[in-house]
Amino acid sequence: MLSTLRKAWKLPDLRKRLLWTIVLVVIYRIGIHIPVPGVDTSKLINLTSQAGSIGGFYDLMSGGAFSNFSIFAMGVLPFINASIIVQLLTIAIPSLEAMQKEGEDGRKKIQKITRYSSILIGAFQTFAMYSIINSQGALRDTSKLNMLLIMLTLTTASTFLMWLGEQLTVKGIGNGISLIMFVNIISRIPTSIGQISSLQQAQTIDPVQLIVLIVVVVALFVAVVIACLAERRIPVQYAGKATAKGLKGQTSHIPLNINSSAIIAIIFAMAVMRFPLMILQFWPKSAAYNIILNGKYSIFKDSSVGYMIAEFIFIIFFTWFYTQITFKPDEMAENMHKSSGFVPGIRPGEPTARYIETVLGNVSILWGAFAGVIAVAPMILQLYVKSQAMYFTGTGMLIVVGVALETMKAIEAHLVMRRYEGFLSE
């Protein structure tokens, strides 16, 4: 990796892209420290201290902006949610599906719809976030004017982040939105290490618990790296051409890696698990709020056994569901047939589509179970260690490793392209 970065730095074009990436990231990190006025952040600790809570997830994805309640408290989550929703709607609405197949023009139209949708979703999320912090007594001014000011500030800042991510994609290296999430998660590591060190010095956790924490984190990291690099390969045989030595064909494969589906599944599962509480924040004194929040058998209670089991099941389901709608076995089989390719032992056409669908189903369930373990493990570890310094969760590891690998592939692609350009110019 370091060798690849050194080679990239020597090329003027790539060096310019790297510098743009650094500058834009610095601008974003400066905005992290601009607070929203009128909010007592000391009363938000309970919302962000739990590893599996929605507040902890927001704080992780925003790089600590939620716990400090800065202008970037929502991060890029509205844009991510809008992208997921629009992608799902392209399956259900024929006009959007046709638009997606129009090439570059269709892609630009889809992006425009996603941008406007993210603003609407951001406005709704800011209202929900305002209700949540208001229920915690963190607002010094509860007037309507202050509510509108906070909502306008957060929505505008989220829209600016969407624009900043697009600039990172165009002028920098890799996907801008993913890089913002990457920087946010990485920025929480020093804070987590400092808090764990403070707990150890105060003898709040003993050496055995500290060793268990380190071992589990390292094991999770290694498992995530291996899983992100792993892929299920479907062998493909292409029809050969007649030569003097006989019939010669080509053998290839279709690589299946659904790491992105697992990450999205975790976001979906957390949203479903927290949606009832988010809605009930508008009626904090109702009986339903107390039953769901504090009920003995409630599966929506943070870090309870029921919550962990339900989230684990939802992650498996959403991984399978999202894989089924994003990967299209019929189109894959049709494209394979047009290229004179076939899966050895499987007839072309409908049998090939059914075979690919079966393989995708098995891989998605396996990946979903792995992602579920990665998401639930920090909650279990937190119960044992009794620590609030669990910002670098399994979900964060999945995102960090996935984005790092994608960024390195993008740099390598630029380097390969420069080699071909140099070869062609000679």
User: How do residues 24-67 score in pLDDT, each as one tens digit?
Assistant: 888 888 888 888 888 877 777 766 665 555 666 677 777 777 77
In angstroms, rounded to a whole number, what is the distance separating the alpha carbons of residues 278 and 416?
48
Residue 358: CB atoms within 10 A of its CB come to 11
Percentage of the chain with pLDDT > 90? 1
Cα 114 from Cα 83, distance rounded (Å): 6
The pLDDT mean for the chain works out to: 78
Closest CA to 268 of 210, 310, 221, 331: 310
Domain 205-386 falls in which CATH fold? Preprotein translocase SecY subunit (1.10.3370)
pLDDT of residue 156: 92
Percentage with pLDDT > 70 across the chain: 84
User: Which segments within 174-324 are labelled E, that is strand?
Assistant: 232-243, 246-256
For 85-114, write each residue's pLDDT tens digit. Answer: 887 788 778 888 788 777 778 888 888 888
The angle, 0 to 180 degrees and rounded to 10, between the axes of the packed helices 350-385 and 259-280 is 60
Angle between helices 104-135 and 259-280 (to 10 degrees): 40
Most confident of the following: 22-36, 198-212, 242-256, 376-390: 22-36
Summarised one tens digit per residue, pLDDT across range 348-380 is 888 888 888 888 888 888 888 888 888 887 777
Tokens linked to 246: 């006989």
| Residue 46 amino acid letter | N
Per-domain residue ranges for the chain? 1-190, 205-386
In 3D space, the residue among 209, 155, 175, 171 whose CA is nearest the CA of residue 390 turns out to be: 209
Tokens representing 250 are: 């080509």
DSSP secondary structure of 82-144? HHHHHHHHHHH-HHHHHHHTTTHHHHHHHHHHHHHHHHHHHHHHHHHHHHHHHHTT-BS--SH
Domain 1-190 fold: Preprotein translocase SecY subunit (1.10.3370)
Q: What is the pTM of this model?
A: 0.74
Give me the pLDDT at residue 425, please: 42
Question: What is the Cα–Cα distance from 24 to 4, expressed in whole angstroms?
Answer: 22
Domains 1-190 and 205-386 share a fold: yes
Helix (H, G, I), strand (E, B) or coil at 357: helix
User: Count of alpha carbons within 13 Å of 342, Cβ hemisphere only?
Assistant: 12
Residue type, 398: L
